[in-house]
């Protein structure tokens, strides 16, 4: 029982395969599903780079086994843009506000904010800063990310109303 | 940093889970995974088998029947927003603001926090404040453990390898009372260097009842009975409180490690204790 | 002319892939039949070792190979890592064996390498390798290590001193004899790591039939890696192609050459298959270079009016276990002294000392943040001694505008006199004071103290030598589709170089930025390069791109002049074509011009053109180093009950000469400031007395998070550098360099009522309460 079949919906597409049970979800997405946009920054649940959305919740994909995501709906950074390729307001705002430099933490930042702002886009700066305090960025000093989140939040609020 | 190999079981009923606990050796129970998974990835633990309890729906309920009954699998995220918790245990929601990050709260469970029993963990502190009762099941029996008997030693709860924590029973305080929760960590979401929870009743300016729990300062979170005893029955005056707590603060066996000394923890705890009592008293007065 | 590009807030061309999750970092590269590497690393800081069994590992299902020192191929030029930057002044050079032979010198040193079908199995196998450790005395404390009777960090050393250097000018002894007053101060500066969010990684792909190696590395310096691996393996450089794919941050430690780069090349070559190693975070903590442990003891001589006349002292620099990056840290620590302040007599000595800890090499700013910190602590200490306001103290001592070009007296690494080319140091000080409402805050501070609130404000002024040569070349080529291909040796780890290069070319050729493709970080695409270190890329690559683009433009005009039969001065280049000024219908496109210069078989090059291709290459460099500068202010509030520090605001005035892209420059500065705040308040690499690292995860080692960071207000002045034709100065590290000093000065200022002197950083809440309680701790 050290290997099991898993099957999940990732970005709307079915992904399945046999995995070692010790494989965490991040490794599964990167290797079996070929979705390398999810990055592993620490593999102990602190840096937030590997954040993905599982059944609507932002989670650390290094802190969940792939077999635990069996039958789940998973959204990764590759699934944030529209199907026609047009960017999500968060992605637009990240570019507009220079919210990324090396881009390694970006996937986790965007997926975290996507879950956080989708739940409720009416957020102030302090709430946004707290929301991304579980995501480490070494390049930007966070300021561009906070500005991007605010810009996207107001767009998302408008789109919702 | 990849986990060593283990066999994996995902029971969907409590009964199945308990059978597996009975039959498997070297088992780790996987609930929210927010503490276990890093330890697996870093190979600090290398179990033979992992039993994943996340599919056992009967463990993920919250109800109120005079007691608040919280299933052990209830997520921290759920506790943070649930109306029963909001109404009867508001201090728990205040404490949850200090627990990790929203991405870890979406998985982390109350049962996991209680069983992992980090010295600085907030949810055990809340359970301590209310003298919660923990329901623990094995294939052969179910027993109730009072929270004050739960912690045996550093990160070691009073639970046998074949047992599973199933439920937390909390009797809320009757209104009116005030509550305070104070914590200090270097950064948002970090484990507390010290934390204090306080429930307090004032009657005609006198502290008629008080419960205090402390975390981060000793090997296990605990009730601060010595302090409660000196304060209970005395007139509330924060300047007096500052003097009254000195003796009890000296009786704590502060953790002294390579990152934080015991003497700092003592200074910090004193400050937080005063602030939490003040906060609780101010809420008690405003009712 | 079209839209101005240079100086505009142009969005980055890099971003589209990265925000979609379509970047390609080292670990994202999957090659068929690839093996995965893991390393067994020393669990002891100092020990004799003997590998007693590798058989269990070798025979584990899925394991392809196990390498130890003994089984490394004998064809290697050396089994010890070759020196990256040898220098005669290095007294005792220690580089690690690629895999430890019989002695280990820090926790984390590589002992064995396993290649397996998966990383999981490779790690399983590492656990099966048996190593006998015979402990030797670890040397962890650098001050003790520096003593002549210290235990040794390596059995082969005579003492623990790697090298001793100094900076000296003026007449320090006389200045001290004649001074009106003097003070002594000492402080400890602490190491931190780079903590790029992407760890290091190497992928080797040996092609046996070609005798060629493609080595992917998450490096800042692919050309250095090519050179070192080539020398280590004894293969010609031309047989090795090094590619730095998308790199997830560098910050200095990825600029070096590491044993793993040679080892993965060896494994791939020996196994004749691709082999990948991705450093994990724990490895990053114990095997990637760190920086900044330095202990300073200084004496300052000054006049009663605050004018500093002389500075002398000694620095003890912790090299860690090895000196695998030469003396760059030592040099960049002493060279920037005395910073933006006029001190005519100076003598500071430095010992670089081995300890049994992770090796050190430059991290964001190299030694410059240490030097800047020293100077700003000196200024504040003298200000306090004389009861002069720290801002006034700076005004008195800063280099004035009429002094430029200013030679402080120190020398560059190449022996030439250090020259501050241009700047407005006092103007920036006035500007940052204005931005931060310095005088108003002083008032507020007084009122807050009366209410038991402790506010503090801290200043720091700095200079940074940037744009170091020799060059960073750019080739600009128009292809037959009319697209522009710029290839360069410059390598990016997120700085946005491709955008800036494209901007410079777009402006010169008046073409849309989307038509420009930048190829970089690949030794197969461009022959020579240095790498992204020392805030040098923008300057070097900017002027090279500019020059190459101008050459291409001139070439296009010359050819169009022939083809359109018009004199060049009647032609203009716009929107992808050369046009007659008088008649815009008379034109020839760049694509057609490129085609003319790339004739088909039996064709010939146009008259007067000796080389094919509408292209030009340029290796421009600066005449001397342009000096960026800045003035910073931090505002903090200290909670004297918990020791917590809240950063209220942070202000930067920065001068990096002519700005190529203000959005990118601001990003560099803000990120750099936060890195400095991390050093000042959070980041602490703790070793116990046995040399065991105690902070090897992100719960214990604290990086700055969004929740604690202030708003950082950035303003610029632009004094163009006369050292290069575009007036550029570097901007990569100017955020970090002054930030530690500004923060510590602010915190100390908040604790003025407690008469606190901060003798070390990071300033922990515990240390704050010690200071509040008067338990002053002198640096050892």
Give the best residue of B56, B101, B108, B109 to mutate against chain A (max A CB count within 10 A).
B101
| C-alpha to C-alpha distances, C41 to B129, C76, C155, C583, C611, nearest whole angstrom | 46, 22, 19, 72, 54
CATH number for the domain harbouring residue B252: 3.30.390.50
Structure-token match 């001193």, residue found: C161
Residues of A in contact with C16 (CB under 8 A): 95
User: Which helix (H) or strand (E) element contains residue A152?
Assistant: helix A143-160
Residue-wise DSSP of C223-241 = HHHHHHHHHHHT--GGGEE
Q: Of the candidates B2, B4, B8, which has its C-beta nearest A1's C-beta? A: B8
**Contact with chain B for residue A136, Cβ under 8 A:** no
CB neighbour class for B155 (10 Å; exposed up to 12, middle 13-18, buried from 19): middle
Domain co-membership, B24 together with B123? no
Q: How many CB pairs under 8 A join B and C?
A: 66
Q: Quick check: A22 and B38 CB within 8 A?
A: no
Cβ distance B258 to C694 less than 8 Å, yes or no, reads yes
CATH code of the domain made up of C290-411+420-467+623-772: 3.30.365.10
**Residues A36, C711: C-beta atoms closer than 8 Å:** no
pLDDT confidence tier of residue A161, bands split at 50, 70 and 90: confident
Query: Chains touching chain B at 3 or more Cβ pairs under 8 angstroms?
Result: A, C
Would the CA dihedral through C485, C489, C493, C499 be positive or negative? Answer: negative
pLDDT at C780 over 90: no
A47 in contact with chain B, both atoms CB, cutoff 8 A: no
Q: What is the DSSP string of C383-421?
A: HHHHT--HHHHHHHHBPPGGG-SB--S-B-TTSPBP-B-
Say how many CB pairs under 8 Å bridge A and B.
97
Number of domains in chain B: 3
CA distances (Å), C187 to each of C376, C594, C777, in order? Answer: 12, 62, 10
Q: Is A53 on the interface with C (CB under 8 A)?
A: no
Q: Hey, are the CB atoms on B6 and A131 less than 8 Å from each other?
A: no
DSSP code per residue over C240-261: EEEE--B----SSGGGS--HHH
Give the pLDDT confidence score for residue C778 in this predicted structure: 44
- The residues in C 667-686 lying below 8 A from A, measured between CB atoms, are 667, 670-675
- Which tens digits make up the pLDDT trace of C314-332? 999 999 999 989 999 999 9
Are B20 and B67 members of one domain?
no
Residues B234 and B132 grouped into a single domain: no
Collect all residues with Cβ–Cβ distance below 8 Å to C665 and sequence separation of at least 6.
Answer: C654, C656, C659, C716, C731
Report pLDDT for A53.
98
Tell me the CATH number at B81.
Answer: 3.30.465.10
Architecture of the CATH domain A3-79? Roll (3.10)
- Predicted confidence (pLDDT) at residue C779 exceeds the cutoff of 60: no
Residue of B187, B258, B268 with shortest CB distance to C708:
B187
How many of the other CB atoms lie within 10 Å of CB of C29? 17
Which residues does chain C have within 8 Å of residue B5's beta carbon, measured at their own beta carbons?
A: 120, 124
Rounded to a whole number, what is the distance in angstroms from the first to the last CA of chain B? 52
Verify that B259 and B273 share a domain, yes or no. Answer: yes
Hey, of A31, A53, A87, A104, which one would you mutate to test binding to chain C, going by the most C CBs within 10 A of its CB?
A104
Q: Which chain C residues are Cβ-neighbours of B42 within 8 angstroms?
A: 282, 697
Closest CB to C699 among B1, B191, B193? B191
Query: C31-136+195-287 with C290-411+420-467+623-772: one CATH topology?
Result: no
- CA C278 to chain B, closest CA, distance in angstroms equals 10
Q: Does position C245 have pLDDT exceeding 90, yes or no?
A: yes
Confidence of residue A160 (pLDDT cuts 50, 70, 90): confident
Q: Angle at the Cα of A59 (from A54 to A60), degrees rounded to 5? A: 125
Which stretches of chain B drop beneath a pLDDT of 50? none
Domain boundary pick from B15, B32, B52? B52
Query: What percent of chain C is modeled with pLDDT above 90?
Result: 94
Give, in order, the Cα–Cα distances in Å from C449 to each of C380, C637, C742: 20, 11, 21
- Rounded Cα distance, C532 and C494, in Å: 10
3-state secondary structure C70-118: HHCCCCCCCCECCCCCCCCCCCCCCCCECCCCCEECCCCCEEEEEEECC
Residue C659 corresponds to which tokens in the numbers above?
A: 């700005």
From chain C, pick out residues whose CB is under 8 angstroms from the CB of A130: 706-707
Hey, of A88, A143, A147, A149, which one would you mutate to test binding to chain C, going by the most C CBs within 10 A of its CB? A143
DSSP string of C140-182, one letter each residue: --HHHHHSTTPPPSSTT-SSSEEEEEEEEES-HHHHHHH-SEE
Alpha helical stretches, state H, B42-196: 76-81, 83-88, 90-96, 102-105, 110-116, 122-129
In angstroms, rounded to a whole number, what is the distance separating the alpha carbons of residues C537 and C622? 12
Could you tell me which chain C residue has the CA closest to the CA of B261? C766
The CA distances from residue A149 to A107, A146, C354, C672, in Å, are: 14, 5, 46, 21
A 10 A CB-CB count for C608 gives: 8
**Does residue C543 contact residue C612 with C-beta atoms inside 8 Å?**
no
Q: Are A100 and A147 in contact (CB under 8 A)?
A: no
Among the partner-chain residues A34, A44, A141, the one whose CB lies closest to the CB of C698 is A44
CATH number of C15-22+469-618: 3.30.365.10
Question: Which chain A residues touch B107 with a CB distance below 8 Å?
Answer: 57, 59-60, 63-64
Which helix or strand (DSSP H or E) is residue B7 part of? strand B7-9
Decide: helix, strand or coil at residue C626.
coil
Give the pLDDT band (50/70/90) at residue C2. low
The torsion region of residue C41 among left (phi > 0), alpha (psi -120 to 50) and beta comes to beta
Q: Are residues B16 and B81 in the same domain?
A: no
Q: Across the interface, do B188 and C705 touch by the CB < 8 Å criterion? A: yes
In terms of domains, do B147 and B91 share one?
yes
pLDDT at residue C777 is higher than 70: no
Give pLDDT tens digits for C676-718.
999 999 999 999 999 999 999 999 999 999 999 999 999 999 9
Sorted by where each begins, the domain ranges of chain A are 3-79, 89-160
What 8-state DSSP symbol labels residue C68? -
Q: Is B2 part of any domain?
A: no
pLDDT at position C569: 96
C11 close contact with A: CB closer than 8 A: yes
Q: Spell out the SS3 assignment of C425-448.
A: HHHHHHHHHHHCCHHHHHHHHHHH
Residues near C61 by beta carbon (within 8 Å), at least 6 away in sequence: C121
Residue A1's pLDDT is what? 64
CATH number at residue B28: 3.30.43.10
Give the number of other Cβ atoms within 10 Å of residue C660's Cβ: 29
Cβ distance B104 to A134 less than 8 Å, yes or no, reads yes
Q: Are C352 and C329 in contact (CB under 8 A)?
A: yes
Instruction: Verify cis geometry, omega within 30 degrees of 0, for the bond prior to C470.
Output: yes
Q: Is C459 left (phi over 0), alpha (psi -120 to 50) or beta?
A: beta
In chain C, residues with a C-beta closer than 8 Å to the C-beta of A106 are 18-19
pLDDT digits (tens, 9 = 90+) for C203-244: 999 999 999 999 999 999 999 999 999 999 999 999 999 999
Residue ranges of the domains in chain C? 15-22+469-618, 31-136+195-287, 290-411+420-467+623-772
- Is C23 within 8 Å of A103 when comparing Cβ atoms? yes
Closest CA to A132 of A118, A147, A146: A146
Most distant pair of Cα atoms in chain C: their distance: 90
Token pair of C687 as six digits:
């070793």
CA contacts within 13 A on the Cβ side of B81: 7
Residues B84 and B153 in one domain: yes
Chain A nearest-CA residue for B54: A68
Per-residue confidence (pLDDT) for residue C774, from 0 to 100: 85
Closest partner residue to C494 (CB to CB) among A77, A87, A103 is A103
Q: What architecture is the A89-160 domain classified under in CATH?
A: Orthogonal Bundle (1.10)
Query: What is the rounded distance in angstroms from the CA atom of residue C578 to the CA atom of residue C559?
Result: 10
Question: Of C75, C69, C133, whose CA–CA distance to C96 is shortest?
Answer: C69
The pairing of strands C110-116 and B142-146 is unpaired
Other beta carbons within 10 Å of B187:
15
Instruction: State the Cα–Cα distance between residues B36 and A64, nearest whole angstrom.
Output: 10
> What is the secondary structure of C530-598 as a DSSP string?
--S-TT-HHHHHHHHHHHHHHHHHHHHHHHHHHHHTS-GGGEEEETTEEEESS-TTSEEEHHHHHHHTS
- Read off the pLDDT of residues C341-362 as tens digits, 9 standing for 90 and up: 999 999 999 999 999 999 999 9
- Read off φ and ψ for residue B165, nearest 5 degrees: -70, 125
Which structural domain range is residue B73 located in?
Answer: 58-170
Residues B257, B195: one domain?
yes
Beta strands in C289-344 (DSSP E): 290-291, 294-302, 308-320
Give the residue from chain B lying closest to A50, CA to CA: B103
B1 in a domain, yes or no? no
Helix or strand holding residue C522 (H, E): none
Question: How many angstroms away from the CA of C680 is the closest CA of chain B?
Answer: 13
Confidence of residue C415 (pLDDT cuts 50, 70, 90): confident
Same domain for B62 and B166: yes
Whole-angstrom distance, CA of residue C167 vs CA of residue B284: 66
State the fold for domain C31-136+195-287.
Aldehyde Oxidoreductase; domain 3 (3.90.1170)
Beta strand ranges found along B185-221 (DSSP E):
194-203, 206-215
Q: With bands split at pLDDT 50, 70 and 90, how would you rate the model's confidence at C402?
A: very high
Report CA torsion sign: B220, B226, B232, B237. negative
pLDDT at B287: 72
Residues of chain A contacting C705 with CB distance shorter than 8 Å? 133, 136, 142
C666: closest CA of chain A, how far (Å): 9
Give contacts of B193 with chain C, Cβ < 8 Å: 765
Structure-token pair, residue C585 = 């219908």
CA C261, CA C170: separation in Å to the nearest integer? Answer: 45
C278-307 pLDDT, tens digit each: 999 999 999 999 987 999 999 999 999 999
Kindly report each contact of residues C589-596 with a partner whose C-beta sits within 8 Å and lies 24 or more positions away, as own/partner: C589/C482, C590/C478, C590/C482, C590/C509, C590/C511, C590/C556, C590/C614, C591/C478, C591/C479, C591/C480, C591/C481, C591/C482, C593/C478, C593/C556, C593/C559, C593/C560, C593/C563, C594/C478, C594/C479, C594/C480, C594/C482, C595/C480, C596/C559, C596/C563
Q: Are the C-beta atoms of B178 and B84 separated by less than 8 Å?
A: no
Sheet with B133-137, side-by-side order of all strands: B62-64, B68-71, B164-170, B133-137, B142-146
In this prediction, residue C775 has a pLDDT band, given cuts at 50, 70 and 90, of: low
N- to C-terminal Cα separation, chain A = 49
Could you tell me if C180 and C297 are in contact, meaning their C-beta atoms sit under 8 angstroms apart? no
Q: Do both B248 and B189 map to the same domain?
A: yes
Cβ neighbours of residue B31 under 8 Å, at least 6 residues apart? B53, B54, B72, B73, B109, B111, B112, B115
Residues with Cβ within 8 Å of B104's Cβ and at least 6 positions away in sequence, in order, are A45, A60, A63, A134, B32, B34, B76
Contact C20/A at CB under 8 A: yes
| Band (C413; pLDDT cuts 50, 70, 90) | confident
**B 27-46: CB under 8 A from C:** 38, 42-43
Asked if the Cβ–Cβ distance from C641 to B187 is below 8 Å, we say: no
Give the closest-approach CA distance of A78 to chain C in angstroms. 6
Q: What is the pLDDT of residue C511?
A: 95
Q: Which one of B170, B188, B216 terminates a domain?
A: B170
**Which residue do the tokens 């029963």 mark?**
B84
């Amino acid at each position: 029982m050290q290997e099991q079949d898993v099957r999940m919906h990732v970005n709307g597409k079915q992904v399945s395969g046999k995995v070692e049970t010790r494989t965490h979800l991040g490794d599964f997405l990167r290797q079996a599903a070929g979705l390398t946009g999810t990055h592993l920054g620490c593999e102990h649940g602190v840096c937030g780079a590997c954040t993905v959305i599982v059944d609507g919740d932002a989670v650390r994909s290094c802190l969940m086994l792939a077999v635990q995501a069996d039958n789940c709906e998973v959204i990764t950074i590759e699934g944030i843009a529209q199907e026609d390729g047009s960017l999500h307001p968060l992605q637009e705002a990240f570019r507009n506000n220079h919210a990324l430099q090396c881009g390694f933490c970006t996937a986790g930042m965007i997926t975290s904010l996507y879950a956080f702002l989708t739940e409720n886009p009416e957020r102030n700066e302090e709430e946004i800063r707290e929301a991304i305090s579980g995501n480490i960025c070494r390049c930007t000093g966070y300021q561009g990310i906070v500005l991007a989140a605010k810009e996207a939040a107001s767009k998302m609020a408008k789109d919702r109303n | 940093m990849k986990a060593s190999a283990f066999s994996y079981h995902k029971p969907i009923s409590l009964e199945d889970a308990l059978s597996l606990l009975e039959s498997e050796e070297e088992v780790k129970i996987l609930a929210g995974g927010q503490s276990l998974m890093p330890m697996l990835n870093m190979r600090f633990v290398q179990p033979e088998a992992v039993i994943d309890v996340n599919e056992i729906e009967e463990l993920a309920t919250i109800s109120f029947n005079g007691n608040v009954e919280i299933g052990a699998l209830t997520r921290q995220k759920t506790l943070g927003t649930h109306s029963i918790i909001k109404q009867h245990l508001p201090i728990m929601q205040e404490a949850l603001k200090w627990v990790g990050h929203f991405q870890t709260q979406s998985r982390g469970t109350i049962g996991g926090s209680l069983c992992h029993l980090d010295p600085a963990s907030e949810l055990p502190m809340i359970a301590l404040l209310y003298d919660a009762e923990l329901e623990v099941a094995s294939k052969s029996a179910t027993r109730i453990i009072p929270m004050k008997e739960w912690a045996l030693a550093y990160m070691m709860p009073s639970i046998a390898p074949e047992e599973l924590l199933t439920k937390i029973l909390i009797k809320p305080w009757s209104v009116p009372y005030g509550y305070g929760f104070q914590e200090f960590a270097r950064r948002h979401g970090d484990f507390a260097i010290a934390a204090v929870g306080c429930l307090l009743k004032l009657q005609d300016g006198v502290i008629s009842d008080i419960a205090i729990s402390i975390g981060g300062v000793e090997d296990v979170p605990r009730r601060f009975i010595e302090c409660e005893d000196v304060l209970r029955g005395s007139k509330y005056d924060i300047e007096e409180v500052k003097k009254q707590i000195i003796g009890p603060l000296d009786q704590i066996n502060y953790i002294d490690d390579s990152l934080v000394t015991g003497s700092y923890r003592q200074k910090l705890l004193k400050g937080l204790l005063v602030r939490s009592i003040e906060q609780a008293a101010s809420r008690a007065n405003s009712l | 002319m079209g839209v101005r590009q240079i100086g505009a807030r142009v969005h980055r061309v890099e971003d589209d892939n990265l925000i979609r999750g379509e970047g390609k970092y080292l670990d994202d590269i999957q090659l068929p039949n690839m093996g995965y590497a893991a390393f067994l690393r020393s669990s002891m800081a100092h020990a004799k070792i003997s590998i007693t069994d590798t058989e269990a590992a070798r025979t584990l299902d899925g394991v392809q190979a196990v390498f130890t020192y003994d089984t490394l191929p004998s064809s290697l030029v050396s089994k010890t890592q070759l020196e990256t930057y040898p220098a005669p002044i290095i007294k005792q050079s220690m580089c690690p064996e690629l895999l430890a032979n019989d002695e280990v010198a820090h926790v984390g040193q590589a002992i064995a390498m396993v290649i397996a079908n998966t990383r999981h199995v490779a790690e399983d196998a590492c656990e099966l390798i048996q190593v006998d450790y015979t402990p030797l005395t670890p040397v962890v404390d650098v001050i003790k290590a520096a003593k002549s009777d210290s235990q040794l960090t390596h059995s082969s050393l005579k003492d623990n001193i790697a090298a001793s250097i100094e900076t000296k000018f003026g007449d320090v002894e006389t200045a001290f004899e004649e001074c009106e007053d003097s003070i002594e101060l000492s402080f400890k500066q602490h190491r931190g790591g780079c903590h790029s969010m992407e760890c290091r990684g190497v992928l080797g792909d040996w092609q046996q039939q070609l005798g060629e190696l493609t080595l992917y590395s998450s490096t800042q310096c692919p050309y250095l890696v090519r050179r070192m691996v080539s020398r280590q393996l004894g293969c010609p450089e031309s047989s090795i192609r090094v590619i730095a794919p998308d790199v997830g941050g560098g910050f200095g430690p990825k600029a070096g050459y590491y044993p793993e780069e040679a080892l993965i090349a060896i494994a791939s070559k020996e196994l004749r298959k691709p082999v990948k190693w991705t450093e994990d975070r724990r490895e990053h903590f114990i095997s990637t270079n760190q920086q900044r442990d330095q202990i300073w003891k200084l004496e300052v001589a000054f006049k009663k009016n605050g004018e500093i006349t002389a500075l002398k002292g000694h620095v003890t620099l912790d090299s860690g276990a090895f000196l695998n990056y030469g003396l760059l840290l030592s040099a960049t620590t002493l060279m920037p002294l005395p910073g933006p302040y006029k001190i005519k007599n100076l003598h500071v000595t430095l010992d670089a000392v081995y300890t049994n800890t992770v090796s050190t090499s430059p991290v964001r700013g190299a030694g410059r943040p240490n030097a800047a910190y020293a100077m700003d602590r000196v200024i504040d200490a003298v200000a306090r001694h004389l009861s002069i306001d720290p801002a006034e103290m700076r005004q008195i001592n800063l280099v004035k505008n009429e002094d430029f070009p200013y030679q402080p007296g120190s020398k560059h690494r190449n022996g030439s006199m250090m020259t501050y080319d241009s700047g407005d140091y006092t103007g920036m000080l006035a500007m940052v004071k204005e931005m931060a409402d310095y005088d108003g805050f002083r008032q507020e501070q007084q009122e807050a103290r009366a209410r038991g609130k402790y506010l503090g404000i801290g200043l720091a002024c700095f200079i940074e030598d940037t744009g170091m040569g020799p060059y960073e070349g750019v080739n600009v080529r128009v292809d037959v589709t009319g697209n522009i291909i710029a290839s360069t040796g410059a390598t990016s780890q997120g700085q946005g170089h491709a955008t800036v290069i494209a901007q410079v070319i777009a402006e010169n050729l008046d073409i849309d930025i989307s038509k420009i493709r930048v190829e970089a970080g690949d030794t197969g695409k461009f022959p020579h390069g240095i790498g992204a270190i020392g805030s040098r890329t923008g300057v070097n690559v900017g002027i090279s791109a500019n020059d190459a683009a101008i050459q291409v433009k001139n070439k296009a005009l010359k050819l169009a002049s022939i083809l359109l039969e018009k004199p060049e001065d009647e032609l203009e280049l716009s929107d992808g074509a050369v046009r007659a000024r008088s008649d815009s219908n008379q034109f020839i496109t760049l694509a057609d011009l490129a085609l003319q210069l790339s004739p088909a078989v039996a064709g010939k090059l146009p008259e007067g053109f000796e080389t094919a291709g509408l292209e030009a290459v340029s290796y421009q460099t600066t005449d001397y180093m342009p000096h960026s500068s800045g003035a910073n202010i931090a505002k903090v509030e200290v909670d004297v009950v918990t020791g917590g520090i809240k950063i209220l605001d942070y202000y930067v005035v920065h001068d990096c000469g002519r700005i190529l892209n203000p959005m990118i420059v601001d990003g560099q500065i803000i990120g750099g400031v936060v890195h400095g705040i991390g050093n000042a308040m959070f980041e602490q690499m703790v070793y116990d007395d046995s040399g065991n690292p105690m902070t090897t995860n992100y719960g214990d080692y604290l990086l700055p998070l969004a929740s604690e960071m202030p708003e950082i207000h950035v303003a610029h002045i632009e004094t163009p550098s006369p050292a290069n034709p575009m007036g550029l100065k570097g901007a990569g590290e100017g955020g970090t360099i002054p930030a530690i000093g500004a923060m510590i000065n602010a915190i100390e200022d908040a604790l003025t009522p407690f008469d606190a002197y901060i003798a070390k950083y990071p300033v922990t809440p515990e240390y704050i309460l010690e200071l509040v309680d008067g338990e002053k701790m002198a640096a050892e």
